[in-house]
């Protein structure tokens, strides 16, 4: 019985992963790649800018260290990184407003500012870790963009008018026996209905949750290793 349960569990896990990879390939892969590239560009820009102004940044860091303590990495993970990942994804519930794209600039900036407070050797390790973290966060941003896109479609679908001028025209043409115009208006209505039904999409919440878990695993693991 125990072996059967283990096999069933393994089979269910394979099914979940297979479904997720299909979801990722269809809905997230292209967004993930684009977001990741943009985030790396932003991260590189901030790093170059900060290095070029290293003296001023060191003064600022010294002043900051005199007034506050460096944040504990565990506190940073549970109070900042994990909540941020959920926020980046599920802020997509707001239609039309693509809040998750803030992560393309915000997270690379935070990482760059943290790296400036390290020694040269640690900076190299932290930069590598940051590149991996950005990959994980980019997945969350891509999932958030997907969520916002589908939330927008569902909102537009719910706001679609079900009875309009085309219906009035159809009733008039039916009453006046104008078959040609009646057929044309029916064809127009059919096209509009098909277009409207494309907005009646199903949001894959399971895919969003799995994306959040994967993103968290990547970010937390790298953060613990590199301290950033």
State pTM to two decimals: 0.81
Question: Tokens at residue 61, please?
Answer: 């860091």
In a domain? residue 68:
yes
Which stretch of 39-43, 91-95, 107-111, 168-172 has the lowest confidence by average pLDDT?
168-172
Could you give the number of structural domains in the chain?
A: 2
Which position has the token pair 């589908």? 150
pLDDT at residue 162, rounded to an integer: 62
Which stretch of 11-25, 26-40, 90-104, 143-157 has the lowest confidence by average pLDDT?
11-25
Quote the CA–CA distance of 118 and 214 in Å, as a whole number.
28
Q: Three-state SS for 84?
A: helix
Question: Tokens at residue 189, please?
Answer: 């209505």
User: Which contacts of 201-204 are long-range, i.e. CB under 8 A and separated by 24 or more positions?
Assistant: 201/150, 201/153, 201/154, 201/157, 203/147, 203/150, 203/151, 203/154, 204/23, 204/27
Which position has the token pair 């950033």? 228
In a domain? residue 19:
no
| Mean pLDDT for the chain overall | 82
Instruction: Tell me the mean pLDDT in the region 18-26.
Output: 94
In a domain? residue 213:
yes
- Tell me: do 106 and 179 sit in the same domain: no
More confident residue, 71 or 37: 37
Instruction: Tell me the mean pLDDT in the region 32-42.
Output: 97
More confident residue, 171 or 14: 14
Quote the CA–CA distance of 48 and 158 in Å, as a whole number.
47
Quote the CA–CA distance of 10 and 4 in Å, as a whole number.
10
Residue 192: which domain range?
Answer: 161-198
In a domain? residue 9:
no
In a domain? residue 13:
no
Q: Residue 143 half-sphere exposure, CB side, CA atoms within 13 Å?
A: 28
- Tell me: do 34 and 146 sit in the same domain: yes
Would you say 104 and 81 are in contact if contact means Cβ atoms under 8 Å apart? no
- Tell me: do 221 and 189 sit in the same domain: no
In a domain? residue 87:
yes
pLDDT band at 149 (very low <50, low <70, confident <90, very high): very high
- Tell me: do 114 and 173 sit in the same domain: no
Q: Taking Cα atoms as reference points, which of 69, 137, 133, 134 lies closest to residue 100?
A: 137
More confident residue, 226 or 38: 38
CA distances from 141 to 90, 115, 138 (A): 10, 22, 5
CA distances from 168 to 113, 139, 192, 197 (A): 62, 48, 15, 21
pLDDT band at 70 (very low <50, low <70, confident <90, very high): very low
- Tell me: do 93 and 143 sit in the same domain: yes
In a domain? residue 12:
no
Would you say 90 and 144 are in contact if contact means Cβ atoms under 8 Å apart? yes
Buried b / exposed e over 191-200, threshold 16 CB at 10 Å, is eeeeeeeebe
Q: Flag whether pLDDT at 64 surpasses 60.
A: no
Summarize pLDDT for 201-217 with one digit per residue, the tens. 899 999 999 999 999 99
- Tell me: do 110 and 208 sit in the same domain: yes
In a domain? residue 10:
no
Q: Flag whether pLDDT at 150 surpasses 80.
A: yes
- Tell me: do 121 and 179 sit in the same domain: no
Q: Taking Cα atoms as reference points, which of 169, 177, 213, 158 lies closest to residue 16?
A: 213
pLDDT at residue 20, rounded to an integer: 95
């Amino acid at each position: 019985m125990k072996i059967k349960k283990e096999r069933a569990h393994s089979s269910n896990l394979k099914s979940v992963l297979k479904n997720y990879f299909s979801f990722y390939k269809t809905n997230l892969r292209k967004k993930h790649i684009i977001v990741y590239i943009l985030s790396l560009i932003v991260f590189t820009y901030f790093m170059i800018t900060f290095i070029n102004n290293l003296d001023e940044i060191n003064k600022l860091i010294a002043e900051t260290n005199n007034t506050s303590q460096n944040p504990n990495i565990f506190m940073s993970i549970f109070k900042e990184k994990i909540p941020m990942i959920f926020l980046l994804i599920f802020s997509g519930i707001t239609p039309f407003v693509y809040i998750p794209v803030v992560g393309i600039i915000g997270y690379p900036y935070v990482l760059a500012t943290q790296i400036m407070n390290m020694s040269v050797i640690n900076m190299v390790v932290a930069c590598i870790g940051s590149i991996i973290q950005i990959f994980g966060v980019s997945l969350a941003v891509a999932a958030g963009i997907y969520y916002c896109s589908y939330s927008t479609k569902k909102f537009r679908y719910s706001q679609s008018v079900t009875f309009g001028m085309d219906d009035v025209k159809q009733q008039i043409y039916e009453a006046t026996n104008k078959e040609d115009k009646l057929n044309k208006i029916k064809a127009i209505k059919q096209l509009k209905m098909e277009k409207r039904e494309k907005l009646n999409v199903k949001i894959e919440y399971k895919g969003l949750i799995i994306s959040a878990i994967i993103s968290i695993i990547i970010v937390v693991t790298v953060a613990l290793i590199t301290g950033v």
